[in-house]
Amino acid sequence: MHISGAIALVTGANRGLGRQFATQLLERGATKVYATARRPELVTVPGVEILPLDITDPASVAAAAEAAADVNLLVNNAGVAFGTDLVVGDLDVLHREMDTNFWGTLSVVRAFAPQLAGGAILNVLSVLSWIAFQGSGGYAASKSAQWSLTNGVRLELAGQKTQVTGLHLGAADTDMTAGYDVPKTDPAVIVKAGLDGLEAGYWEVLADEWSRGAKAALAADPRAYYNQQ
Ligand SMILES: NC(=O)c1ccc[n+]([C@@H]2O[C@H](COP(=O)([O-])OP(=O)(O)OC[C@H]3O[C@@H](n4cnc5c(N)ncnc54)[C@H](OP(=O)(O)O)[C@@H]3O)[C@@H](O)[C@H]2O)c1
Q: What tens digit of pLDDT does each residue of 202-220 get?
A: 999 999 999 999 999 999 9
Asked, for residue 185, whether it belongs to a domain, the answer is yes
How much distance in Å is there from the Cα of 189 to the middle of ligand 1? 16
- Output the residue whose Cα is nearest ligand 1's atom 8: 126
- Output the residue whose Cα is nearest ligand 1's atom 19: 16
**CATH number reported for the structural domain that contains residue 190 in this entry:** 3.40.50.720
* Cα–Cα distance list, 206 to 116, 118, 196, 217 (Å): 24, 24, 11, 13
Q: What is the DSSP letter of 38?
A: S
Average pLDDT over residues 82-104: 98
What pLDDT is recorded for position 228?
80
Question: Cβ(169)–Cβ(211) under 8 Å?
Answer: yes
How much distance in Å is there from the Cα of 16 to the middle of ligand 1? 7
Asked, for residue 104, whether it belongs to a domain, the answer is yes
Q: Kindly give the number of the ligand 1 atom that is closest to the alpha carbon of 104.
A: 31
How much distance in Å is there from the Cα of 77 to the middle of ligand 1? 6
What pLDDT is recorded for position 205?
98
- Ligand 1 mutation pick, 15, 43, 97, max ligand atoms within 8 A of CB: 15
What pLDDT is recorded for position 212?
97
How much distance in Å is there from the Cα of 223 to the middle of ligand 1? 30
pLDDT, one tens digit per residue, over 91-100 is 999 999 999 9
pLDDT grade for 147, boundaries at 50, 70 and 90: very high
pLDDT tops 90 at residue 227: no
pLDDT, one tens digit per residue, over 157-205 is 999 999 999 999 999 999 999 999 999 999 999 999 999 999 999 999 9
Asked, for residue 120, whether it belongs to a domain, the answer is yes
How much distance in Å is there from the Cα of 13 to the middle of ligand 1? 9
Buried-state track 38-65, b at ≥16 Cβ within 10 A, e below 16: beeeebebeebebbbbbbbeeebbeebb
- Ligand 1 mutation pick, 143, 174, 204, max ligand atoms within 8 A of CB: 174
What pLDDT is recorded for position 198?
98
What pLDDT is recorded for position 13?
98
DSSP-derived pairing of the beta strands 73-76 and 120-124: parallel
What pLDDT is recorded for position 72?
98
Enclosing domain of residue 19:
7-227
Asked, for residue 153, whether it belongs to a domain, the answer is yes
Q: Report the mean per-residue pLDDT for the chain.
A: 97
CA 208 to chain centre: 15
Q: Kindly give the number of the ligand 1 atom that is closest to the alpha carbon of 172.
A: 3
The count of domains in the chain is 1
Q: Kindly give the number of the ligand 1 atom that is closest to the alpha carbon of 53.
A: 33
- Output the residue whose Cα is nearest ligand 1's atom 5: 171
What pLDDT is recorded for position 189?
98
Q: Kindly give the number of the ligand 1 atom that is closest to the alpha carbon of 101.
A: 45
Asked, for residue 27, whether it belongs to a domain, the answer is yes
pLDDT grade for 148, boundaries at 50, 70 and 90: very high
Asked, for residue 2, whether it belongs to a domain, the answer is no
Average pLDDT over residues 59-65: 98
pLDDT grade for 39, boundaries at 50, 70 and 90: very high
Catalytic site positions: 139, 143
Asked, for residue 83, whether it belongs to a domain, the answer is yes
What pLDDT is recorded for position 173?
98
Average pLDDT over residues 12-26: 98
Asked, for residue 57, whether it belongs to a domain, the answer is yes
What pLDDT is recorded for position 81?
98
Give 33's strand partners: 8
